[in-house]
Amino acid sequence: MTILCYGEIDLDIYVALNRLPTRERSAWCSDDFENIGGAAANSAMWLANWGVPTRLAGHDLGDDRSGDVVRELLVALPELDTRYIACHAGYRTPRCQCLVTPDGERSFITHWPQEVLMTPPSPAMLDGVKLLNLDMSGPTPLRLKAAELAAERNIPVLINDIYQTDHPLLPLIDVLVISVAVARGKQADAKPLDLAADMKQAGDCDVIVTDAGADIHILARDGTLEVVSPPALSPVDTTGAGDIFKSGLAYALLQGLPLTDAVRWGAAAGSLMCQYAGTTKTLAPLSEVRALLETMI
């Protein structure tokens, strides 16, 4: 029951600020630390922590200190298969500074994104895989190749953040997660539910519409519409909440749960993550996810 998470892997530098800095006015830092980041790595680490055999690939690492930190943290999870993460001498491991304000919102500084190297998907990478979890935080071609390889083996594909009905990945996916905030960031007057309906029809896939802590809408490929209300919690750090939503969703789908129940799992996992500083510094056990899920039901 292996899940392959393919995409972003980096070292995050968490920085807690009283507010974002502006010109000539500094911000105060109350805490900082390093933890693994990147959409694929975030999802993979939470899944592996829950005992799910998980394979992680995508971004390569360098032989620098940042790469050493990432490798040390990854190897601590016995269910995590990292054999396809390459290491290059003289290459700078991708890094990202996550600036988090007291309301839990975050801003990012991405280090040297133009230098990022990725290991291309291969048939062997999908051996034994039952679900492919893709992120769209980077170039499309390698992600498209991964989805094509999955389609050849009838492996379901879960992905987030596609907003064009003519996107080449859309016909290859089974479950799409889109964000109200991202949709409106791309087009201020966007109507996310109308967009979701168009995406569902164009891709013949299930579409899940998230909206921070507001209701989650599920447009199933069979035409039904369901709504799930996430737990009402005050966030400490929302960095990676969507990634861990996908972890909970993927976990439940692998258990054979119906889509609506799987979305509840995703909402519980994503909301729980927001109670901790740093996306992967604290990996909450399944028991905590289940406890929060019970409050929703």
**For the chain, what percent of residues have pLDDT higher than 70?**
100
The two structure tokens encoding residue 95: 């890094």
Interacting residues of 141 by C-beta distance below 8 A, sequence separation 6+: none
20-68 confidence digits (pLDDT tens): 999 999 999 999 999 999 999 999 999 999 999 999 999 999 999 999 9
154-210 confidence digits (pLDDT tens): 999 999 999 999 999 999 999 999 999 999 888 888 899 999 999 999 999 999 999
41: left (phi over 0), alpha (psi -120 to 50) or beta: alpha
Please determine, for residue 256, whether its predicted confidence score (pLDDT) is greater than 90. yes
273-292 confidence digits (pLDDT tens): 999 999 999 999 999 999 99
pLDDT given for residue 140 in this prediction: 95
Helix/strand/coil (H/E/C) assignment for every residue in 70-121: HHHHHHCCCCEECCCCCEECCCCCCEEEEEECCCCCEEEEEECHHHCCECCC
Please determine, for residue 1, whether its predicted confidence score (pLDDT) is greater than 80. no
Q: E strands, the chain, where?
A: 2-7, 10-17, 29-37, 54-58, 61-62, 80-81, 87-88, 95-100, 106-111, 129-134, 157-160, 175-179, 206-210, 216-219, 225-228
**For the chain, what percent of residues have pLDDT higher than 90?**
94
